[in-house]
């Protein structure tokens, strides 16, 4: 089973690019972030025509996540539990049916900038809530994949110039510490397990020639439960997609499990 994560940076604005990749890569499951539309405006039929079941948790203009699966989905959850007042669409979860069911979580973790604002506190609070919920999911002892745009640069090797990002919320000690705390629950970073080479970037800004100069960062991650990690076959960053016409500033990351 191939499970992808991709921040598409507006699914409708980049629909032809997104559909081209889906036709070529044909993931079994995909978690999309930053779809930037309400549920009713998501191009559901275009993905259904490719054989996908569609789960959307959208939001006007900002945020929004979707989960697409070639297999039926069950036990769907929209929204991260723990704060009833939180109306930002950043979390979707479902069990993908099959001989070995797998629970897939798609997240769009808050950016948190600027650090000296309530946005950074929201980011850290969201990560605490994610930690609590993932702890509950791990207790189910089933294959679990938590994939998405984490907006966290885990280590200096995951950024072209660590000094340039020292003041950014993505690279703060608190953000990186919260990411490590997630892994300490028993999750494995799929890319680090399979490859781990420096420069496995997943995001290049549109500004300052970041893409042609390879000034990237690794912020799109797939974390696996022990039951999923035992079935890990590969993890591939589709960096060539960044060079396509009208690209997102992120590229797809695809994890393959023996399911």
The pLDDT, as a whole number, for residue 87 is 95
> pLDDT-based confidence at 1, cuts 50/70/90?
very high
The pLDDT, as a whole number, for residue 26 is 98
**151 carries a ligand binding annotation:** yes
The pLDDT, as a whole number, for residue 169 is 98
If you write DSSP's letter for every residue of 223-251 in order, what string do you get? EE-HHHHTTEEEEEE-GGGGGSSS--SB-
**111 carries a ligand binding annotation:** no
Annotated catalytic sites, by residue? 108, 149, 250
Task: Compute the Cα dihedral for 52, 54, 59, 60 and give only its sign.
Answer: positive
The pLDDT, as a whole number, for residue 22 is 98
Given the structure tokens 């979390």, which residue do they identify?
91
Q: What percent of the chain lies above the pLDDT cut of 90? A: 99
Instruction: Give me the phi and psi of 76, to 5 degrees please.
Output: -75, 135
Given the structure tokens 């999911």, which residue do they identify?
137
* Cα Rg of the chain, angstroms: 17
**158 carries a ligand binding annotation:** no
If you write DSSP's letter for every residue of 39-69 in order, what string do you get? GGGS-HHHHHTTT-EEEEE--SSS--EEEEE
Q: In the chain, where are the structural domains located?
A: 2-257
pLDDT digits (tens, 9 = 90+) for 136-186: 999 999 999 999 999 999 999 999 999 999 999 999 999 999 999 999 999
Return the CATH number of the domain spanning residue range 2-257: 3.60.10.10
The pLDDT, as a whole number, for residue 13 is 98
- Dist. CA 50–CA 184, nearest whole Å: 38
pLDDT digits (tens, 9 = 90+) for 91-100: 999 999 999 9
**220 carries a ligand binding annotation:** no
* Residue 211 half-sphere exposure toward CB, CA atoms < 13 A: 16
**113 carries a ligand binding annotation:** no
């Amino acid at each position: 089973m191939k499970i992808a994560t991709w921040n598409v940076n507006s699914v409708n604005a980049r629909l032809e690019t997104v559909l081209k990749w889906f036709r070529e890569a044909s993931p079994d499951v995909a978690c999309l972030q930053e779809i930037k539309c309400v549920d009713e405006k998501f191009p559901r039929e275009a993905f259904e025509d490719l054989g996908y079941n569609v789960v959307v948790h959208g939001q006007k203009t900002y945020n929004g996540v979707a989960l697409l699966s070639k297999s039926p989905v069950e036990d769907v959850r929209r929204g991260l539990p723990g704060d009833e007042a939180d109306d930002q669409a950043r979390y979707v979860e479902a069990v993908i049916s099959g001989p070995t069911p797998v629970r897939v979580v798609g997240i769009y973790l808050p950016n948190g900038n600027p650090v000296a604002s309530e946005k950074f506190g929201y980011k850290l609070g969201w990560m605490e809530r994610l930690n609590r919920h993932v702890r509950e999911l791990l207790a189910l002892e089933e294959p679990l994949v938590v994939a998405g745009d984490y907006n966290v640069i885990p280590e200096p090797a995951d950024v072209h110039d660590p000094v340039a990002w020292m003041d950014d919320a993505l690279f703060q000690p608190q953000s990186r510490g919260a990411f490590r705390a997630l892994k300490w629950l028993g999750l494995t970073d799929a890319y680090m397990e399979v490859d781990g080479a420096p420069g496995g970037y997943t995001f290049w800004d549109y500004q300052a020639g970041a893409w042609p100069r390879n000034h990237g960062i690794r912020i799109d991650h797939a974390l696996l439960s022990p039951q999923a990690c035992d079935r890990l076959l590969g993890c591939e960053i589709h960096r060539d997609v960044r060079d396509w016409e009208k690209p997102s500033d992120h590229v797809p990351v695809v994890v393959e499990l023996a399911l």
